[in-house]
């Protein structure tokens, strides 16, 4: 798993996707659901698998905490559709 930080007060995960390069995922919490609103990968790293590193790291942590997700961010919606192993995290 990549190095990451999680700041629940701000609603942000930051993941080191390449040495000294960080991507992030923003959310707000609604009870037991994390509403994922935005993801960011540095422009120079797009198309190199950094979004996958971000998602796999964050989703594993969310899964471990027992939260559900509601993806509002289009990238997250598509990622979950393409990776059914994470669909159990979707809120009902």
CB 36, CB 25: distance < 8 Å: yes
CB 36, CB 69: distance < 8 Å: yes
- Show the domains of the chain with their CATH numbers: 4-72 (3.40.630.30)
The model scores a pTM over 0.85: yes
- Interhelix angle 50-65/74-82, rounded to 10 degrees, is 80
Q: What would the mean pLDDT of 71-82 be, rounded to a whole number?
A: 97
Q: Which of 2, 34, 32 is nearest to 23 (CA)?
A: 2
Q: What pLDDT score does 37 carry?
A: 98
Integer Cα distance of 86 and 69 in angstroms: 10
Q: What pLDDT score does 1 carry?
A: 66
> For residue range 50-69, what is the model confidence (pLDDT) as tens digits?
999 999 999 999 999 999 99
């Amino acid at each position: 798993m990549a190095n990451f930080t999680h700041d629940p007060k701000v609603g942000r995960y930051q993941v080191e996707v390449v040495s000294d390069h960080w991507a992030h995922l923003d959310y707000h919490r609604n009870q037991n659901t994390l509403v994922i609103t935005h993801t960011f990968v540095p422009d120079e790293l797009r198309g190199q698998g950094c979004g996958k590193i971000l998602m796999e790291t964050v989703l594993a942590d969310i899964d471990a905490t027992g939260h559900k997700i509601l993806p509002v961010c289009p990238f997250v919606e598509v990622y979950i559709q393409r990776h059914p192993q994470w669909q159990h995290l979707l809120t009902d």
